[in-house]
Amino acid sequence: MSRVLEMKAGAMSLSDLRQIHEKPTAVNLSAQDRGRVALAGALVDKIVAAGEAAYGINTGFGLLAHTRIPNDQLELLQRNLLLSHAAGVGEALPDPVVRLILALKINALAQGHSGVTMGLMNSLLALLEHEVYPVIPAQGSVGASGDLAPLAHLSAVLLGLGQVRVGGARLPASEGLRIAGLQPIKLRAKEGLALINGTQVSTALALAGLFGAEDIFAAAVVAGAMSVDALKGSDSPFDERIQRVRGQPGQIAVAREYRELIAGSAIRASHLDCTRVQDPYSFRCQPQVMGACLDLIRNCSVTLGIEANAVTDNPLLFTDAGEVLSGGNFHAEPVAFAADTLALAIAEIGSLSERRTAVLVDPKMSGLPAFLVNNSGLNSGFMIAQVTAAALVSENKTIAAPASVDSIPTSANQEDHVSMATHAARRLSAMVDNAAAVIGIELLAAAQGIDFHRPSRSSLRLEEVHAGIRRDVPFYDSDRYFAPDIDAARSWVKSGRFGALLKRILPSRSAS
Q: Which residues pair with 165 in a beta bridge?
A: 133, 170
Looking only at the bridges linking them, the beta strands covering 323-325 and 25-29 are unpaired
Helices (H), 115-248: 118-129, 148-156, 173-179, 191-196, 200-231, 240-246
Q: How far is CA 232 from CA 52, 225, 228, 304, in A?
A: 76, 11, 6, 40
Write the CB contacts of 272 (distance below 8 Å, at least 6 apart in sequence): none
Contact 438, 350 (CB under 8 A): yes
The C-alpha angle 53, 58, 63, rounded to 5 degrees, equals 90
Contact 285, 237 (CB under 8 A): yes
Looking only at the bridges linking them, the beta strands covering 137-139 and 89-92 are antiparallel
Write the CB contacts of 51 (distance below 8 Å, at least 6 apart in sequence): 71
281 catalytic per annotation = no
Q: How far apart are CA 375 and CA 377, in angstroms?
A: 6
Q: How far apart are CA 298 and CA 77, in angstroms?
A: 42
Q: How far apart are CA 453 and CA 68, in angstroms?
A: 79
Phi, psi angle pair for 328, to nearest 5°: -140, 35
Selecting among 55, 133, 476, 481, the annotated active-site residue is 55
Instruction: Point out the residues that are catalytic.
Output: 55
